[in-house]
Amino acid sequence: MVVAIDGPAGVGKSSIAQMIAKTCNFYYLNSGSFYRAYTYLQVQGGRNPMNYPSVLETAKQYKLSIENDHICVNGNDIEDKLHTPEVDAVVAQVSSYAPLRSYVNEQLRRIAKDIDIVIEGRDITTVVFPDADLKCYFDAKAEVRAERRLRQHPDGQDYETVLRQIKKRDVIDKEKEVGALRIAKDALYIDTSYLTIGQVCEKVLSAIFTLKGDVNR
């Protein structure tokens, strides 16, 4: 079974997807971590992350894997390197490069083949897994998402700066020529602005159990 989750930054996709995966004993995968990992590797290597063909070449030089829900490069855990200000500043632009998106999508489909998985991102329900068993779209007000991001990463940035970055990211995500953020027609839409993680999980789990019940009949 494939449970695909899309939505803008800061709506709680990662926390909720991980909780759902743990509850259902499914594999968890965050597609955004791949773009962040390749961006980090490009920067770490002293190369320009805005040189998108170069990022793609960097991506092909490393093997990414998922271990205990963490991104690993050649077996080394780099999860704590993925949300630095340096990566945050350019990852949206890097992820808009169509050849890189195609390459990442190939990796995602390879990992997800023949397993039960919860996978989250921006175009998972519309491009990567358009035939997913369950499609979800999480949303929330930009102001709420900025507050959440500050609580998660209190690294000295002020609220107005974070809010501005989130709104800029939304525009980039929704205007990508390939893999743009949009709501699939058959997606379960959930506004998480004033819901707890537990409440959102209940809605998604209910949908999963309903589907599983239909499959088992």
Give 7: exposed, middle or buried? Use CB within 10 Å, 0-12, 13-18, 19+: buried
Bigger pLDDT: 75 vs 137: 137
Instruction: Please name each of the domains of the chain with its CATH number.
Output: 1-26+116-209 (3.40.50.300), 31-114 (3.40.50.300)
Q: Which pTM value belongs to this model?
A: 0.85
pLDDT of residue 217: 39
Bigger pLDDT: 69 vs 19: 19
Tokens of 142: 């930009």
DSSP state of 12: S
d(CA 201, CA 72): 27
Query: For the ranges 42-46, 72-76, 128-132, which has the lowest average pLDDT?
Result: 72-76
Averaged pLDDT of the chain = 92
Over the stretch 113-141, which tens digit does the pLDDT of each residue have?
888 999 999 999 999 999 999 999 999 99
Helix or strand (DSSP H, E) at 11: none
d(CA 28, CA 31): 10
pLDDT of residue 149: 85
pLDDT at 16 exceeding the cut of 90: yes
pLDDT of residue 209: 93
Over the stretch 184-215, which tens digit does the pLDDT of each residue have?
999 999 999 999 999 999 999 999 999 987 65
Tokens of 56: 């793609």
